[in-house]
Amino acid sequence: MIHVLLVEDDLDLATTVIDYLDLEGITCDHAANGIAGLELLSNHHFDVMILDVNMPRMDGLTVCKKMREQGNSTAILMLTARDTLDDKLAGFAAGSDDYLVKPFEMQELIARIQVLANRRSGQTTLLSLFGLDADFNAKTLKRQQRSVQLSPTGWKILEVLMRKSPEVVSKKQLLQAVWGDDLPDSDSLKVHLFKLRQQVDIPNENKLIHTVPGQGFVFRG
């Protein structure tokens, strides 16, 4: 089930959206301003954030920028009454994944939510999950303040698993994401995963990379 966070100060519109999403089987939490939205986001997992641009206390662009700076990769759909190219570019520059101009059709909103929920945002280069801090641009990795060195392939595998977390990634999906159509021999993935586990996991700490029998692999604490 898709879980959405709606950050919108227009309560009438928010109620309409929440009711329509419920009919479509999509759960939706609501925050009436940007500060409340960030607080909810820090304590719960959401597949998509629907974020109004013009809000009191903290506008949508600022919320978006703060999320990306903090390494939050939740997909963001911006809502705005302004439809100029400059407005759209400002939203994308802040880290938004998609843009919807008010007024909009609810069916289009649903379609965009479903697309975003099926592909985790790749705009952020910094992820912090379960005590592991990864900067995929600078290629720096730390767990409990301990620096970890990875091979180029190790970085690719880790990035796929962290961006998909807490979803399970199948062996086929992982192979395709890391090697594309130039697939390695059957043991290569097993060897790289073994090395990655040795580098990432710490004695007496929770294991982070798990094998789910018959399904694939998952990154979780």
Out of 90, 117, 144, a domain closes at 117
Residue 114: the pLDDT is 86
Listing DSSP states for 107-148 in one string gives HHHHHHHHHHHTS------EEEETTEEEETTTTEEEETTEE-
Distance between CA 68 and CA 123 in Å, rounded? 8
Q: How many domains does the chain have?
A: 2
Please give the residue range of the domain that contains residue 152: 126-219
> CATH code at 71?
3.40.50.2300
Segment 30-57 mean pLDDT: 89
> Taking the model in full, what pTM does it have?
0.57
Which two tokens mark 138? 């600078």
Query: CATH number of the domain that 133 lies in?
Result: 1.10.10.10
More confident call, 22 vs 120: 22
Strand order through the sheet with 98-101: 27-31, 3-7, 48-52, 75-80, 98-101
Q: At what angle do helices 188-200 and 171-179 cross, to 10 degrees?
A: 90
Tens digits of residue pLDDT in 201-217: 877 778 999 999 998 99
pLDDT value at 122 more than 70: no
Show which of 67, 92, 117 is a domain's final residue: 117
Q: Are 76 and 51 in contact (CB under 8 A)?
A: yes
**pLDDT above 90 for 163:** no
Question: What span, in angstroms and rounded, lies between the C-alpha atoms of 56 and 35?
Answer: 9
Of 52, 83, 117, the one marking the end of a domain is 117
Residues 83 and 159 occupy one common structural domain: no
pLDDT tens string 4-38: 999 999 999 999 999 999 999 999 999 999 999 99
- pLDDT bin (cut points 50, 70, 90) of residue 125 is confident
